[in-house]
Amino acid sequence: MQITQSKQLFSRAQQRIPGGVNSPVRAFKSVNMTPLFITRAQGSKLYDADGNEFIDFVGSWGPMILGHAHTEVIRKLEETLLKGTSFGAPTEGEILLAEMVCEAVPSVEMLRLVNSGSEAAMAVLRVARGYTGRDKIIKFEGCYHGSVDPLLVQAGSGAMTLGIPDSPGVPASFVEHTLQAKFNDLDSVIKLVEENSSKIAAVIIEPVAGNMGMIPPEHGFLQGLRDLCDREGILLIFDEVMSGFRVDYGGAQALFGVLPDMSIFGKIIGGGLPVGAYGGRQDIMLQVAPAGPVYQAGTLSGNPLAVAAGLSTLEILRKENPYPELGQKTSWLSGEFQSAAESAGVPLQTQAMGGMFGFFFSETPVRNYQDALNSDVERFTRFFRSMLNQGIYLAPSAFESLFVSTAHSEKDLERTARAFRKALQEK
Ligand SMILES: *Cc1c(COP(=O)(O)O)cnc(C)c1O
């Protein structure tokens, strides 16, 4: 594969953009490669600056559930564009999008639009703290909620209950109210709640973890959190930025039948444009300014173009209900991967749910962050390169989920399965 143009662009980019990219995951650093500069995308395919074609399983990290440059979404965008790009005043589209999300997601009664998932996470914590009058929050090791100071805590094994910032520039005092629990381990949450009785505002979780590789919740785990939060007056927040409209039209909460008090969204609800949103119970959302005292604002929030792309995407999803079909695609791929791994004698764990899937090179099932870290990252790196060379574009990290879209054809999936088989055989 020729990547001369991408290499040139990358060295130019590094002169003026830190690390040459505007978001670290794009840099291909963890697989020790040059990132590919993309010039266009259509359906299930990405095209890079050297003219290489790839079957794309990143989908812009989640939003592109209808595939790239979907005709109807583009048409809606063109139509909207001609009327002006931003007014700083309310528009009907914002109501329609809020109505659609409330109708789709069982627990959401009111919604506020922002510009990214990170912004939604930042805002929802403020609202939860404002509403409960408590400061502390519980998050889970390995769950990602955007590049938000108090949530940028991973906490190694020795520091389970102590917030240790993940990045320079986050003062220790900013994360002193952040407590870390273990995914799929209700006891770890109960322990934190007991040690901090009446001080915890919220538990925030990715109901289907997608940012440490894909790890679904075990049976009873989410319901256990719901019951615990109810007993203790703690708000349960589902971060459905990735899982929302991805594992099911109503998100993970519809799929598992566990309703949080608050949810955050992004990715799919912006149809490929910058969007985030937070919402939930009406009595809580009425705390948000100007209805209530908790301040939150944004110049471009509810931007007409982003709203148009989101609306158009959700309308198509609602009409076509592609989730059974997406689920068939991801489980077919997982099955193929699994059987290829078995015949190659490579230990592999796979997961699939709706339009989302993932795998770990691991002997044992992966239930939490520690298990994920124990998977064979070096094998992943070799594997990733082979797949890329065969025209399959995966997320350049062993700790990411993968996505299929309605645009992925049977032929795309078969080609991917064949490439997988071959990649496992390469030394
Ligand atoms: C992507 C993501 C975010 C952050 O959203 P941005 O739009 O990148 O700020 C937050 N939470 C989860 C679960 C995500 O997958």
The answer to whether 267 is a known catalytic residue is yes
Distance 144 CA to ligand 1 centre (A): 7
In angstroms, the CA 67 to CA 190 distance is 41
Q: What is the pLDDT of residue 253?
A: 98
Q: Is the pTM of this model over 0.95?
A: yes
User: 402-413: per-residue pLDDT in tens?
Assistant: 999 999 999 999
Distance set, CA 151 to CA 32, 55, 136, 274 (Å): 27, 33, 12, 21
In angstroms, the CA 258 to CA 336 distance is 31
Distance 4 CA to ligand 1 centre (A): 32
Q: Count the residues in the chain.
A: 427
User: 58-92: per-residue pLDDT in tens?
Assistant: 999 999 999 999 999 999 999 999 999 999 999 99
Active-site residue (options: 144, 323, 369, 393): 144
User: 26-62: per-residue pLDDT in tens?
Assistant: 999 889 999 999 999 999 999 999 999 999 999 999 9
In angstroms, the CA 43 to CA 60 distance is 12
144 pLDDT exceeds 50?
Answer: yes
In angstroms, the CA 166 to CA 151 distance is 9
In angstroms, the CA 207 to CA 236 distance is 11
Q: Which atom of ligand 1 is nearest to the CA of 243?
A: 13
Q: Which atom of ligand 1 is nearest to the CA of 240?
A: 13
User: 208-264: per-residue pLDDT in tens?
Assistant: 999 999 999 999 999 999 999 999 999 999 999 999 999 999 999 999 999 999 999
Active-site residue (options: 48, 56, 239, 371): 239
The structural domains of the chain, ordered by start, are 4-65+322-425 (3.90.1150.10), 71-320 (3.40.640.10)
Tell which one of 26, 113, 115, 145 to mutate to probe ligand 1, the residue whose CB is within 8 A of the most ligand atoms: 145
pLDDT mean across residues, the chain: 95
The answer to whether 249 is a known catalytic residue is no
Q: Name all residues whose Cβ lies below 6 A of ligand 1.
A: 116-118, 121, 144-146, 206, 210-211, 239, 241-242, 266, 276
Apex 217 CA angle, 164 and 108, nearest 5 = 90
Q: Which atom of ligand 1 is nearest to the CA of 266?
A: 7
What's at 182, amino acid-wise?
K
In angstroms, the CA 256 to CA 217 distance is 9
Backbone phi, psi, residue 341, to 5°: -65, -40
